[in-house]
Amino acid sequence: MTGLILRRLGIGLVTVLAVSVIIFFGTKILPGDVAQIRLGQAATEENVAAFRERLGLDRPYWQQYLGWLSNFLRGDLGISLASDVPITNLIADRYQNTIIVSGLTALIGVPVSLMLGITAAMFPGSLYDRVLTFVSVSLVAAPEFFTATLLVLLFVFALDLGNAVVVGSTEGKGFFELIAHFALPIATLSFVIASQLIRMSRAAVLNVMSSPYIEMAILKGVPRGRIIFRHALLNAIGPIVNVVALNLAYLVTGVIVVEVYFAYPGLATLIVQGVQSRDYVLIQGLGMIFCLTYVVLMLIADIAAYASNPRLRHPK
């Protein structure tokens, strides 16, 4: 088990390194000379050369890469090309919104979705199951902006509750005030992750429900609730935690549409701005942060799956 976790950690590390290479050299092949863009058309040859030297752009790529990587490891993400501000400052302003919204969505959306999926598996083919399947499949098909628009139409225009965009500061707000503050983005994102979580947790539990040991539990007279929560769920944890982790990673990195729609600045909009302003230092830093988010969440999911498997926990 320990060996397995160490090996998994090693794989995670290799993944991060591989992605860092791709991010670094990927931003290098973006069209246009950075110094030229940064200084504008009017800049003299000397100015451009001096600027390149200051950024270290005259050094060989591998030296630039190692320097960048060691800075990143020390927490120095460099200076933004677009605004001359340290990247860490730019991110600090934004990450709070992202963490609050994704954290609250995870806290509300994940348990609710899992419960819905598991209860659907308890009564396969029932009206409840069929309605839930219909709704979740429809949600998979609906893009985020469509779901968001429906919610805004319903709550803001029909029921006259809250605002169509997120307004005001989060400062000094408590847990429930924050939920109210971000109510519509949280609701939209919850719907987006709910569809996949419901489908997958239902499938994972149903898959286990056809095992002989579940039939044995039925023949021992074990009630349905205990069959699901004691006998089936334990064996379905592996696939479920993986889907949860993938969805949590999406909440941090992929919510650009929702951020733009509700007009609150988060990390996802930041990277789009980075691309627009050719701020490759910003893109590199955010790319690495997103990569780390994925790797760490998947690592946690895999360790949780290992830990839920008694064969790995207690070898012979």
Q: Where along the sequence are the contacts to other proteins (CB under 8 A)?
A: 211-213, 215-223, 226, 230-231, 234-235, 308-311, 314, 316
Q: Burial-class residue 259 by CB neighbours within 10 Å (0-12, 13-18, 19+).
A: buried
Q: Which is nearer to other proteins, 123 or 157 (CB)?
A: 123
Q: Which is nearer to other proteins, 161 or 234 (CB)?
A: 234
* Angstrom distance (rounded) from CA 254 to CA 251: 6
* Angstrom distance (rounded) from CA 274 to CA 260: 15
* Beta carbon of residue 136, minimum distance to other proteins (angstroms, whole number): 24
Q: Which is nearer to other proteins, 227 or 282 (CB)?
A: 227
Q: Which is nearer to other proteins, 54 or 226 (CB)?
A: 226
DSSP assignment letter at 279: -
* Angstrom distance (rounded) from CA 232 to CA 236: 7
Q: Burial-class residue 1 by CB neighbours within 10 Å (0-12, 13-18, 19+).
A: middle
Give the distance from CA 241 to its chain's centroid.
14
* Beta carbon of residue 236, minimum distance to other proteins (angstroms, whole number): 10
* Beta carbon of residue 242, minimum distance to other proteins (angstroms, whole number): 17
Q: Which is nearer to other proteins, 31 or 212 (CB)?
A: 212
Q: Which residue type occupies 10?
A: G
Q: Which is nearer to other proteins, 199 or 231 (CB)?
A: 231
CB 128 within 8 A of CB 119: yes
* Beta carbon of residue 3, minimum distance to other proteins (angstroms, whole number): 12
* Beta carbon of residue 220, minimum distance to other proteins (angstroms, whole number): 4
* Beta carbon of residue 13, minimum distance to other proteins (angstroms, whole number): 21
* Beta carbon of residue 129, minimum distance to other proteins (angstroms, whole number): 16
* Angstrom distance (rounded) from CA 27 to CA 21: 10
Q: Which is nearer to other proteins, 207 or 308 (CB)?
A: 308
- The string over 226-256, giving b where at least 16 C-beta atoms fall within 10 Å of a residue's C-beta and e elsewhere, is ebbeebbbebbbbbbbbbbbbbbbbbbbebb
| Residues forming a β-bridge with 79 | 86
For residue 54, CA distances in Å to 35, 49, 59, 79, 96 come to 10, 9, 11, 12, 32
